[in-house]
Each structure stands twice: as C-alpha cells, then as structure tokens.
A = this chain, B = another copy of it.
Amino acid sequence: MRITYKGDYALKAVLELASNYRKDTVTIHEMANRLDIPAKFLEQVLLELKRGGFVESRRGRMGGYLLAKSPSQIKLGEVIRFIDGPIEPIACIDIKYKGCNATYKCVFRKIWKEVAKKTSEIIDNITFEDLAKETKKETLVYTI
C-alpha cells in the first residue's frame, strides 16, 4: 500500500468533517486553509469523496460540505481504498499483474496477502468517530 497526497488529503478532509458532524457545513476554502492543502486540489478530492458517498454538499451561498453518514459508520480503510486503490502491496493479487506463470505456487504471494491482512486488521477497525475523539483529546491535552 502506498498512500498518496490525494489519499492523505482525503483522510484529513473526512476527519475535519467528522469533527464538525451535525454542526455547520464547511467550505472548501476553510478546509484548505486549516489543513494547508491547495484549494483546487482539495476540491477534486471532495468531489470524488462525494461520488463515493462519503460526503454531501450544499451549493451556493452558505454552502459547503458535510459528512453523508455518521462518523461511526465510516472506516479509515474504506476511504483510503476508495481514493488510493487496493491495499495489497503488490499487484500479483490483481489481474493486471503479469510476471508469475504460476502464482498459485509463488511463495511471495502468500506473504503479501498476509501483509494486506494485517494492514486491514488495523485500518478496517478504525472509524472516523474514533479519530475525531482522539484529535479532540489531543487538542485538549495541548491546550491545557
């Protein structure tokens, strides 16, 4: 798995919206400023997240973005997979990969699957509710 800037931005954006869940909508520019992300790039990321059903938007004045479902229903793994693709470290799990005339007896294949499994055990067991709580807590710690 490799996390791109786009994926990184997506996670931060969703977390931002999760922290704002059931409050106001947040505009692209607000998020871009707060997260220090190029606004036009973030715009594209948010559109993609919308198509993925993670966020909703309100157009026009007083518009902005908001989460499409509860933070507790969005897993870290879902978002990163949607934006950056499969978490498997090598494509030999995938169809496109050519280079193994006998994948079924490739000793590496099972290792990469094991890596993917362990990765999944982490990222598919963390919701944005968890993350929002954690950031809140950390912010408090640093504020006090």
Q: A34 — nearest CB in chain B belongs to which residue? A: B101
A46 at interface, CB cutoff 8 A: no
Q: Across the interface, which residues of B come within 8 angstroms of A131, CB to CB?
A: 107-108
Chain B CB within 10 Å — which of A9, A118, A135 has the most? A118
- Most B-side CB within 10 Å, residue of A76, A119, A126: A119
The CA-CA distance from A5 to B8 in the complex, in Å, is: 25
Copies in the complex: 2
* The residue from B37, B114, B115, B134 contacting A107, defined by CB atoms under 8 A apart: B134
* B99 A111 Cβ-Cβ under 8 A: no
**Do residues A3 and B90 form an inter-chain contact, with CB atoms below 8 A?**
yes
A: number of interface residues (CB 8 Å): 36
* A94 interface contact, C-beta 8 A: no
0/1 string, A1-44, CB within 8 A of B gives 1:
11101001101100100000000000000000000110000000
Q: How far is the CB of A109 from chain B (nearest CB, A)?
A: 10
Interface string of A91-130 (1 = CB under 8 A from B): 0100000010100010110011011001101110010000
A residues with a Cβ closer than 8 A to B are: 1-3, 5, 8-9, 11-12, 15, 36-37, 76, 89-90, 92, 99, 101, 105, 107-108, 111-112, 114-115, 118-119, 121-123, 126, 131, 134-135, 138-139, 142
